[in-house]
Amino acid sequence: KAGVTQTPRYLIKTRGQQVTLSCSPISGHRSVSWYQQTPGQGLQFLFEYFSETQRNKGNFPGRFSGRQFSNSRSEMNVSTLELGDSALYLCASSSPGQGDRKLFFGSGTQLSVL
């Protein structure tokens, strides 16, 4: 089984631009979560989607948004980029129906905002 795939792997943007990151979960997994990882704040939960519905949201401004498609693939969007948005964005998928709550993480998208 293929793992969680995140694209692109690296991204460089300038302040004020917007960016879209993509995540393809493990086949059969219907839950996708997004995390932001920075040296200062560590790993912080952004949001979680299940069956195309946002189930939970972290404490981030409205510039951060996401969605999930019918094939469980997910995208997150950050509008009006700020320098502080530079981070590794990690996506994780899980299969809640199995009840074991394991999260499988992708390798992440490294976003640099200049």
Residue 64 makes CB contacts below 8 A (sequence gap 6+) with 46, 47, 76, 77, 78
- Extended beta strands in the chain, E state: 5-7, 10-13, 19-24, 31-38, 42-50, 53-57, 64-68, 74-78, 87-94, 104-105, 109-113
Smallest distance from another protein to CB 39, Å: 10
- Of the residues 13, 50, 67, 73, which one makes contact with another protein according to CB under 8 A: 50
Task: Pick the stretch among 13-21, 44-52, 65-73, 77-85 that binds another protein (CB under 8 A).
Answer: 44-52
Task: Pick the stretch among 11-19, 65-73, 75-83, 104-112 that binds another protein (CB under 8 A).
Answer: 104-112
Binding site for another protein (CB under 8 A): 4, 31-33, 42-45, 48, 50, 55-56, 58, 90, 92, 94, 96, 100-108, 110
